[in-house]
């Protein structure tokens, strides 16, 4: 079955809308089950666009879960069809990372800890100065 490029263009446009992105990702995910889709460069370009939009504009798990479904279907169908799309592995990895609430919480905590522990960090210096000031006031 061939890909309807007019409809594909509309789905690409829908990726930019917060209200339309999940239905667009779901529809693209269904299309990704068809070998003709993964062999079509316009479809692959829309998948690239989906990853870029998710990566730059959306952090909520629901969006990434819909993206994960798309990327997994693309990865599977490409494998079955013998289509090489190495970046799809990156898409799947990133979507898995963003879909996992526990992993996101751990990453946030690591980021906070690294910011707190960097001695050259201006925030670190402010906290040290404030603690020193409080200690001096307390000793008076």
SS3 for 20?
Answer: coil
Same structural domain for residues 131 and 81?
no
Q: Count other Cβ atoms within 10 Å, centred on residue 67.
A: 29
* Domain count for the chain: 2
CA separation for the pair 31, 34 (Å, rounded): 6
Question: Is the Cα torsion angle 59, 57, 20, 42 positive or negative in sign?
Answer: negative
Same structural domain for residues 14 and 80?
yes
Same structural domain for residues 134 and 66?
no
The per-residue pLDDT for range 71-130, each reduced to its tens digit, is 999 999 999 999 999 999 999 999 999 988 776 666 667 667 766 655 555 544 445 555
Same structural domain for residues 113 and 75?
no
Same structural domain for residues 114 and 94?
no
The per-residue pLDDT for range 58-74, each reduced to its tens digit, is 989 999 999 999 999 99
Same structural domain for residues 68 and 137?
no
Q: Residue 39 sits in which domain range? A: 5-99
Same structural domain for residues 111 and 76?
no
Q: Which helix (H) or strand (E) holds 86?
A: none
The per-residue pLDDT for range 20-35, each reduced to its tens digit, is 999 999 999 999 999 9
Residues 12, 49 contacting (CB under 8 angstroms):
yes
**Phi-psi bin for 58: left (phi > 0), alpha (psi -120 to 50), beta?**
beta
Same structural domain for residues 83 and 58?
yes
> Alpha carbon of 95 to those of 5, 40, 124: distances in Å?
26, 23, 33
Same structural domain for residues 11 and 45?
yes
Secondary-structure percent of the chain, ordered helix, strand, coil, rounded to 5: 80, 0, 20
Same structural domain for residues 64 and 118?
no
pTM of the full structure: 0.72
CA separation for the pair 30, 73 (Å, rounded): 8
Same structural domain for residues 74 and 13?
yes
Same structural domain for residues 72 and 127?
no
């Amino acid at each position: 079955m061939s890909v309807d490029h007019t409809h594909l263009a509309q789905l690409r446009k829908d990726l930019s809308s917060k209200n339309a992105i999940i239905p667009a990702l779901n529809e693209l995910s269904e299309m990704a089950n068809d070998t003709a889709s993964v062999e079509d460069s316009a479809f692959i370009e829309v998948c690239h666009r989906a990853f870029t939009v998710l990566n730059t504009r959306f952090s909520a798990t629901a969006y990434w879960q819909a993206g994960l479904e798309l990327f997994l279907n693309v990865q599977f169908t490409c494998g079955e069809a013998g289509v090489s799309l190495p970046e799809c592995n990156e898409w799947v990895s990133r979507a898995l990372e963003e879909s996992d609430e526990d992993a996101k919480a751990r990453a946030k905590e690591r980021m906070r800890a690294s910011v707190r522990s960097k001695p050259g960090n201006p925030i670190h210096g402010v906290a040290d100065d404030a603690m020193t000031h409080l200690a001096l006031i307390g000793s008076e």
